[in-house]
Amino acid sequence: MAKLFHWRIDVAAELKRKDEELTSSFVGDGGVPLAADKIRVDLTTLLETGVRYLPADSRCDCFDPRRGCIGHDLERAEVAA
Ligand SMILES: [Zn+2]
């Protein structure tokens, strides 16, 4: 059966980005801007606790922080669409 995989954010790859790229991608609660250093500390902490990927789609209900979305079975009609 065909599967749908949701997008994921690669934490290690994010850490290699420039400061201005990080601050435009990650914001705090309520849209509050975050300092690049704070984002780097938080991402590093995630990596150290085994989180390699973050979900990029809130609809994903089968997300594994070490592998990303593990896949959703698609009905035949969804595959044809
Ligand atoms: Zn998913």
- 9 CA to middle of ligand 1, Å? 12
pTM (predicted TM-score): 0.84
Residue at 16: amino acid letter: K
- 25 CA to middle of ligand 1, Å? 21
- 70 CA to middle of ligand 1, Å? 6
56-80 pLDDT tens trace = 999 999 999 999 999 999 987 666 6
Largest CA distance in the chain: 46
Report residue 1's pLDDT band, with 50, 70 and 90 as the boundaries: confident
- 62 CA to middle of ligand 1, Å? 5
